[in-house]
Amino acid sequence: MLNKIALLRQWAERAANATVNYARTTYVAMWALILTCTIYGCMLIHSARPIAIKTQVMAATIGFIGAFFISLMDYHRLGQLWPLVGGGCIFLVGLTFVVGQSAIGGNAVADDVAWLNIFGYSFQPSELMKIGFIVTFSYHLSRVVEQGTLNTLSSVFLLGGHAFVPVILCNRQGDDGTALMFLVIFLIMFFSSGLNWKFIGLGLGAITAMAPIFWQMMSNHQRERFSAVYNPKEGDEKGILYQQTLGKIAIGNGGLLGEGHGTSTMIQSGLVPEDHNDFIFTVACEEFGFIGALFLLGLLFAVMLLSLYAAFKATDMMGRFMCIGFFAMIATQTMFNIGMCVSVLPVIGITLPFFSAGGSSSMCLYFGVGLVQSVYMRTKETTRTISQERRRLIRVGAVTH
């Protein structure tokens, strides 16, 4: 009996020491911000679509747990597992071409066939592929930079080919919004790597030159969405701009302080389509007004800044690129989503990070937080080790101040 008590005490001491050590090295500010975003997001979702809150809470819980375990892993090890990470993500996305479902859960007959049915729950593998891409591309890009071959034509083509895989897979699914996300994440990570301006200029020139081709490749409905935003015709506000028109009315209703949580006119009447998802920003605006919208944007901006800070402090290129990749994902989704809600951009089905309802999207965002935490914690551990070794050498007189 005494042996069991001693063993339990030993385990308790180890657990306490591990907890203290984790709290000392983890990115506390990032955890606090993400938790605040989660609570605020759940409030908005519960007001707009109470039935969706259960899935959101479950996704956030799984996401937090996943982020915690990812933060405990050495991100270098994750990079070394790139064939498993990349291959697994591609396999899951590939399954959608065989047994995929549309967003509404029907058989694979809609244009956007990007979901899998797993034990009765819809899962979007392309969301997980975003995290997988950040891991694999960071590893690939860091290897190229460290070898000093970044500004060679072969490396540029290989890195471009790396990004081409998820872009074309999402395009073939009919999910052009996510395909665009991958393209922008790739460009931000690539351009932040020290790429020669000659290649940057050529790349931007090629994108500009191919714009007419992309326009012709769009469906009539996609072209109509762009035309309606930038060259609206009479009647568009009741047609293709209907969702955005109602969203702007809801935004305007909020005024400075909003109409109150759960008492808003447009949201509680169910007049704004997808108000719990792509148009969650309109819920914040109508219920909490300009102040609530500013608070939401401030939270997301702070998450971006902390990600860039972790990138700046990282001790190697792979950690830096991982944090920049996560920053790019949050910044891009935020820009496109807010742009849709205020009619600066056409509706392209991109969610607002940590706020929009969506199990797959929310869960995988937390996994991205885990990557940033892993980089930050390894950086802090490395810095502390170097500092301790320096102090030890100073004590024995090996170095001077």
The per-residue pLDDT for range 133-155, each reduced to its tens digit, is: 999 999 999 999 999 999 999 99
Residue with tokens 């609530």: 292
Query: Taking the CB of residue 219, how many other CB atoms lie within 10 A of it?
Result: 11
Whether the pLDDT of residue 103 is over 80: the answer is no
CB 71 within 8 A of CB 26: yes
> pTM for the complete prediction?
0.92
How far apart are the C-alpha atoms of 283 and 357, rounded to whole Å?
12
In the block, residue with structure tokens 């049915």: 117
Alpha-carbon distances, residue 310 vs 84, 337, 391 (angstroms) = 26, 25, 25
Phi then psi for residue 115, to 5 deg, are -120, 150
**Exposure of 215 by Cβ count < 10 A (0-12 exposed, 13-18 middle, 19+ buried)?**
exposed
Q: Given a cut of 90, is residue 399 above it in pLDDT?
A: no
Tokens encoding 98: 């065989």
Tell me the residue length of the chain: 401
- Read off the pLDDT of each residue in 39-51 and give the average, rounded to a whole number: 95
- Work out whether the CA dihedral 130, 223, 200, 163 comes out positive or negative: positive
Nearest to 336 by CA among 388, 363, 300, 370: 300
pLDDT of residue 2: 60
Instruction: Name the pLDDT band for 383 (thresholds 50, 70, 90).
Output: confident
Residue 110, pLDDT > 80, answer no
pLDDT of residue 39: 96
Q: Is the pLDDT of residue 340 over 70?
A: yes
Q: Rounded to an integer, what distance in angstroms lies between the CA atom of residue 168 and that of residue 162?
A: 11
Whether the predicted pLDDT of 199 surpasses 90: no
Choose the weakest-confidence range: 1-15, 110-124, 212-226: 1-15
Give pLDDT, residue 13.
75
**DSSP assignment letter at 219:** -
CA distance 200 to 208: 12
Q: Which residue has the tokens 């970044």?
A: 150
Residue 159 burial by CB count (10 A; 0-12/13-18/19+): exposed, middle or buried? buried
What average pLDDT does this structure show over 162-167?
A: 95
3-state secondary structure of 39: helix
pLDDT at 387 over 90: no
Quote the CA–CA distance of 253 and 285 in Å, as a whole number. 8
